[in-house]
């Protein structure tokens, strides 16, 4: 998954699934470009002969990832290509890893050959020329392998800087027991959702139809994405559009402000002890979340087994199904690698091989980005008892096809999130004016981007 709060989410997933992260440590090269050192980049065309020769020659790769049980994926690759040795490193989750990676890239040493990067952080490295364009190895031919939204997230300016690893299409979990108790129908539109929120709050003041966390930019961005918003757009190497207070965002601001101010929904910080307890005791009747949610909810609210179901997000236009995305990662090759062909092949193998992609879904509990797995009955047909036998994977597989593929992240999202917390998120917690908070967020984000040397348009 990828999000702006994924440290807590990923840690929760690991606890829920009782998994251990890898902790081995290694280092690698960090030159400014792929070279012929080791098995090298070979020719710029990356012909089949070049690939075969490089893999036959072998060498060593360093792979940074925080996904649990990655050892088995590495072992599968080494079995297929026994002359390539992959050293696995857990360099920390998201921000911790990205800081180390940025420092290594700038220093010109200590960077890995292959690295896991979440979609939201991907532009930071792709647009700073830190990643290898995989076109030279013909990997653009894999486009049809992945969902459109994940594929578009690894392409910038006609260059392919990584391969999709997992994704986080959004849907709605709802507590069917609470819905039945208070006569709430599953809302198919946001108007129906608002009416249901008011009805439930009137009947049970201590129960809320949902919680819109005041510390969770990831949900907000996913909802803007679903509504068709385009808050950011990279229009050139140093040009970026910032429109976090555009018409779509203001529409969402007005909508949620009304429900917040009349108390129909809560705004508790998420991934806290109190929030976990709220899920477990039925305080929140729905959870607007991503496709990594099923295993998370199973682990964090065990006592509610059998009560939960999944449905698509309510729609702004009932005639047009749409969803947003919250989470997901890529596998990228660092431009300074001395073993570029083997690194590219490892990224390809990891994200296309049936065995390794299945491991992402079944052992690491990440939601697939490959169309093959999203249409595999062994995955979509699962009927977990926790969800009353519902095929929840099928629900998320269906909504994954409705995620718009034009949405973009900026190359400075971490700062944008901090500013969101202090403006929009604060307005949620204070029951304040969300529209004014969006204007404040726009100004702060614009100022930051300009101070970083970007040319900003609105």
Packed helices 273-281 and 293-300: angle between N→C axes, nearest 10 degrees: 90
Residue entry with tokens 């049980």: 69
Residues 231 and 338 in one domain: no
Last residue of a domain, one of 374, 404, 434: 374
Q: How far apart are CA 117 and CA 187, in angstroms?
A: 35
Report the mean per-residue pLDDT for the chain: 89
pLDDT of residue 182: 97
Indicate the DSSP class of residue 185: P
Q: What is the DSSP string of 1-27?
A: ---TTHHHHHHHHHHHHT---------
CATH code, 235: 3.40.190.10
Residues 301 and 435 in one domain: yes
Q: How far apart are CA 305 and CA 298, in angstroms?
A: 7
Has residue 123 got a pLDDT over 80? yes
Q: Note whether 166 and 369 are within 8 A (CB).
A: yes
Place 458 in a pLDDT band, splitting at 50, 70 and 90. confident
Lowest mean pLDDT among 21-25, 222-226, 419-423: 21-25
> Is the residue at 410 inside a domain?
yes
Q: How far apart are CA 231 and CA 241, in angstroms?
A: 8
Residues 405 and 341 in one domain: no
Residues 277 and 403 in one domain: yes
Q: How far apart are CA 111 and CA 337, in angstroms?
A: 8
- What are the φ and ψ backbone dihedral angles of 193, each rounded to 5 degrees? -65, -45
pLDDT of residue 27: 29
> Is the residue at 379 inside a domain?
no
Residues 276 and 414 in one domain: yes
Residue entry with tokens 């034009």: 406
Higher pLDDT, 290 or 237: 290
CA 233 to mean position of chain CA atoms: 18
Number of alpha helices (DSSP H) and beta strands (DSSP E) in the chain? 20, 15
Has residue 14 got a pLDDT over 80? no
Three-class secondary structure of residue 146 per DSSP:
strand
Has residue 10 got a pLDDT over 50? no
Mean pLDDT of 7-15: 37
Residues 163 and 177 in one domain: no
Last residue of a domain, one of 374, 401, 436: 374
Residues 112 and 164 in one domain: yes
Alpha carbon separation from 249 to 128, 252, 256, 420, 446 (Å, rounded): 28, 5, 11, 13, 16
The count of structural domains within the chain is 2
Residues 299 and 437 in one domain: yes
Residues 231 and 294 in one domain: yes
* Domain enclosing residue 228, as ranges: 170-322+384-457
pLDDT of residue 54: 83
Three-class secondary structure of residue 273 per DSSP:
helix
Strands 59-64 and 84-89, how do they pair?
parallel
Residues 343 and 403 in one domain: no
> Is the residue at 1 inside a domain?
no
Last residue of a domain, one of 313, 348, 374: 374
Closest CA to 333 of 341, 321, 324, 325: 341
> Is the residue at 362 inside a domain?
yes
> Is the residue at 433 inside a domain?
yes
Q: 107-139 burial, b for 16+ CB within 10 Å, e for fewer?
A: eeeebbbbbbbbbbbbbbbbbeebbbbbbbbbb
Three-class secondary structure of residue 290 per DSSP:
strand
> Is the residue at 103 inside a domain?
yes
**Segment 151-204, tens digit of pLDDT:** 999 998 899 999 999 999 999 999 999 999 999 999 999 999 999 999 999 999
Residues 298 and 188 in one domain: yes
Residues 174 and 162 in one domain: no
> Is the residue at 122 inside a domain?
yes
**Segment 320-374, tens digit of pLDDT:** 999 999 999 999 999 999 999 999 999 999 999 999 999 999 888 899 999 999 9
> Is the residue at 89 inside a domain?
yes
Q: How far apart are CA 16 and CA 300, in angstroms?
A: 6
Residues in contact with 302: Cβ distance below 8 Å, sequence separation at least 6, in sequence order? 280
Q: How far apart are CA 395 and CA 435, in angstroms?
A: 33
pTM: 0.89
């Amino acid at each position: 998954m990828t999000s702006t709060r994924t440290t807590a989410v990923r840690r929760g997933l690991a606890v829920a699934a009782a998994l251990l992260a890898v902790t081995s440590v290694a280092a690698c090269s960090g030159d400014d470009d792929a070279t012929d050192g080791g098995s090298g980049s070979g020719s710029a065309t990356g012909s089949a002969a070049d690939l075969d020769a490089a893999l036959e020659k072998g060498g060593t790769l360093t792979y940074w990832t925080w996904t649990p049980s990655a050892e088995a994926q590495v072992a599968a690759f080494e079995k297929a290509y026994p002359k390539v040795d992959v050293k696995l490193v857990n360099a920390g989750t998201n921000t911790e890893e990205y800081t180390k990676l940025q420092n290594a890239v700038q220093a010109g040493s200590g960077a890995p050959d292959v690295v896991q990067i979440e979609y939201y952080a991907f532009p930071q490295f792709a647009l700073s020329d830190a990643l290898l364009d995989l076109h030279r190895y013909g990997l653009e031919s894999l486009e049809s392998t992945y969902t459109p939204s994940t594929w578009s997230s690894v392409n910038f300016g006609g260059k392919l800087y990584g391969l999709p690893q997992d994704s986080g299409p959004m849907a709605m979990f709802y507590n069917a027991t609470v819905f039945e108790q208070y006569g709430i129908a599953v809302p198919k539109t946001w108007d129906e959702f608002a009416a249901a929120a008011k009805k439930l709050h009137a009947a049970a003041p201590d129960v809320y139809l949902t919680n819109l966390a005041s510390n969770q930019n990831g949900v907000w961005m996913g909802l803007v994405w679903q509504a068709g918003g385009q808050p950011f757009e990279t229009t050139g190497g140093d040009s970026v559009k910032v429109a976090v207070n555009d018409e779509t965002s203001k529409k969402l601001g007005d909508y949620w402000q009304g429900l917040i101010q009349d108390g129909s929904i809560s705004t508790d910080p998420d991934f806290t002890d109190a929030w976990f307890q709220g899920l477990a005791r039925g305080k929140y009747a729905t959870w607007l979340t991503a496709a990594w949610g099923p295993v998370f909810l199973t682990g964090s609210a065990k006592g509610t087994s059998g009560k939960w179901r999944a449905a698509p997000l309510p729609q702004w236009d009932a005639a047009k199904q749409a969803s947003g995305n919250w989470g997901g990662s890529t596998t990228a090759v660092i431009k300074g690698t001395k073993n570029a062909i083997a690194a590219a092949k490892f990224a390809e193998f990891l994200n296309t091989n049936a065995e390794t992609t299945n491991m992402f879904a079944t052992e690491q509990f990440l939601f697939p980005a490959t169309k093959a797995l999203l249409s595999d009955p062994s995955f979509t047909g699962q009927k977990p008892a926790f969800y009353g036998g519902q095929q929840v994977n099928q629900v998320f597989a269906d909504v994954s096809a409705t995620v718009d593929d034009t949405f973009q992240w900026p190359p400075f999202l971490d700062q944008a999130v901090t500013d969101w917390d202090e403006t929009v998120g604060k307005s949620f917690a204070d029951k304040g004016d969300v529209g004014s908070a969006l204007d404040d967020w726009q100004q702060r984000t614009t100022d930051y981007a300009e101070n970083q040397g970007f040319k900003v348009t609105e």
